[in-house]
Amino acid sequence: MAQEIRDEFIQENFQNLVNLRTQVQLTYWSEQHFITRELLDNLPFGEILSHTCFYSYVDYSLDTLIGPANNTLLYWRLSNVTQFDGTPVSELSLFYDETLLWHYSTPSYREEIRSQIRSGRRVRFLSRFRLSQTEIEVEFNEIQLQTTEGDNFRFVYTNSNNYQYKFVNLKWSTTINAHNPITNPNIYALPITQPNAQGRETEYQACLDQIRSLPNNIQIQDTYWDSVDPSSRNSTPDPDSDTNYWAPTNFQFASPTPTSTNSSGFHMCTCGIDICYCNNRHPGTPPTPAGIKLWKP
């Protein structure tokens, strides 16, 4: 009887499942290849994220992963899904598909990406998602420029930001891995040079068409923030906690603090990876270059 009740519950509540084997925008590592559609829809694999899109995602969308992730864990538990050795499935890792990203998405946005980077804006992509019984982990890589002979360039990528959600304390923590310049970084990895579509060119093109139809793509402008209601943010700043996620200001600033002054009485600046805080501009500060728009949080 208990098994019948369980099967009925699964049938009624887990009809909208996705087979990961059919998804060309990602690869996966797990004996289990079903997750909820809602979870997959909140993972922007294959998309190129401008700095605005990236901050929009981590500020407003990270928390939307928690419910679908819990539902996926519940489905694994109720359906008695096991690994090859007979033990229950307890973990899933998803990775971006290199062919889609480097031979479809990136070429499609080549000029936009180059323009963003040369304007001093960082461009990222979702590289990994991991779900276990204890935590959720979301990892981003960053696309950067490496100049070659003449005025030519090529894209490279580096580690960027990592976000972890612990079920035990119900909070996001942030790790920033990349401290390289966005042009000619010291440490980087090279994209694959040959695509591996495995006869799925039609599926790859359809996925790219779907990505390009999204309104929240790399071409979005800073005016996006004018339409955002700050009260709608999912994360509440907690300066007293170093494990609570709040972005984009959750950086470890070097001394001096934002309120300190130099010997001349001028307020000094402190800088994180993407932003700087300055109460007053130092007299020797040069003018902002054309094409660079300063953002004041």
Same domain, 209 and 258: no
Same-domain status, 267 and 164: no
Cβ neighbours, 10 Å, residue 247: 20
The reported pTM is: 0.71
pLDDT at 13: 66
Measured in degrees and rounded to the nearest 5, phi and psi for residue 223 equal -65, -10
Q: CA-based Rg of the chain, rounded to a whole angstrom?
A: 22
pLDDT reported for residue 225: 43
Q: How many domains does one find in the chain? A: 2
Residues 284 and 137 in one domain: no
Written as tens digits, the pLDDT of the chain (297 aa) is 566 666 666 666 667 888 999 999 999 987 678 888 999 999 999 999 998 899 989 998 999 999 999 988 888 888 776 666 777 778 899 999 999 999 999 999 999 999 999 988 999 999 999 999 999 999 999 999 998 877 789 999 998 899 999 999 999 999 887 567 888 888 899 999 999 988 999 999 999 999 999 876 676 454 444 444 545 444 443 333 333 333 333 333 333 334 444 444 444 554 444 445 455 555 556 667 666 666 654
Ramachandran region, residue 62 (left: φ > 0; alpha: ψ -120 to 50; beta: rest): alpha
Determine the Cα–Cα distance for residues 246 and 291; give it in Å rounded to an integer: 28
pLDDT of 10 reads 67
Domain boundary among 199, 220, 242: 242
Sequence-ordered strand ranges (E) for the chain: 17-19, 26-29, 34-36, 91-96, 123-132, 135-147, 153-166, 171-176, 270-271, 276-277
Whether residues 151 and 214 fall in one domain: yes
Domain boundary pick from 242, 263, 285: 242
Do 295 and 266 lie in a common domain? yes
156 vs 181: CA distance, rounded Å: 12
CB 275 within 8 A of CB 295: yes
d(CA 140, CA 171): 19
Q: What is the pLDDT of residue 232?
A: 47
CA 103 – CA 99 distance, rounded (Å): 5
Residues 202, 296 within the same domain: no
202 exposed, middle or buried (CB, 10 Å; 0-12, 13-18, 19+)? Answer: exposed
Contacts of 91 (CB under 8 A, 6+ apart): 30, 130, 131, 132, 133
Residues 259 and 225 grouped into a single domain: no
Contacts of residue 161, Cβ cutoff 8 Å, sequence gap at least 6? 58, 124, 139, 140, 174, 175, 176, 177, 178
Residue 4, domain member (yes or no): no
- What pLDDT, on a 0 to 100 scale, did the predictor assign at position 293? 63
- Measured between alpha carbons, how far is 236 from 244 in angstroms, rounded to an integer? 8
Cα(131)–Cα(103) distance, integer angstroms: 28
Last-in-domain residue among 206, 222, 242: 242
The whole domain housing 188 covers: 13-242
